[in-house]
Amino acid sequence: MLRVLHENPGFFESLVSEFEIPTDQGKRKMDVLLHNGTIVECKSWDDDADTFGDFVQGKGNSYAQFLDYLKVISSMDQLQYWLDGRKLTGNNSTLKRETAVEKFRTLYDGNDNVFNTLVKNPQLRAQLFNGLAAKEARQLYDIYVAQSSAVLFGFIKIK
């Protein structure tokens, strides 16, 4: 996060509301909260590291934090995950993003916790699934995952 701050000082001066805000009774912290309510989570994960692996398998603090974010946002536009591009496989930002999207696809694919969190959030259910019943919403979710739809993957940013 410090590298990104240093490289983009004007962005943060005008848009950041707070840094390192405690969530979930202080167990975890969101990295950045923008004035418009967007949560920015900065991750410096090697794509083959245990931390990213645990996240993709639905384990660990980063995974629990991700679910917490899905519970409180009212639109997927209010979430951004900034991944350190220097640590991802690929020789350009497009390939690095594809690596990250594939990791998130693995997390989403067949993950009932992510799906259930999305449909239990009324605003996200309306945005993503047009208020569909759970069975139909799950079918649409599976399509989004299979197609790497921007609806579920647009928040991934390579920095």
- Please tell me the total count of domains within the chain: 1
Beta-carbon count within 10 A of 64 CB:
16
C-beta separation of 41 from 78 below 8 A: no
Q: Which domain holds residue 85?
A: 2-158
What pLDDT, in 10s, does the model give residues 62-107? 999 999 999 999 999 999 999 998 888 888 888 999 999 999 999 9
In one letter, which amino acid is 76?
M
Strands 28-34, 39-43: pairing is antiparallel
pLDDT at 10: 67
**pLDDT grade, residue 48 (50/70/90)?**
confident
- Angle, CA 37 vertex, CA 35 and CA 26 arms, to 5°: 105
Beta carbons of 37 and 30 less than 8 angstroms apart: no
* 94's tokens: 């497009």
pLDDT at position 26 over 80: no
| pLDDT confidence of residue 94 | 87
How is residue 133 annotated by DSSP? -
State the pTM of this model.
Answer: 0.87
Q: What is the DSSP letter of 76?
A: G
Rg of the chain (C-alpha set): 16
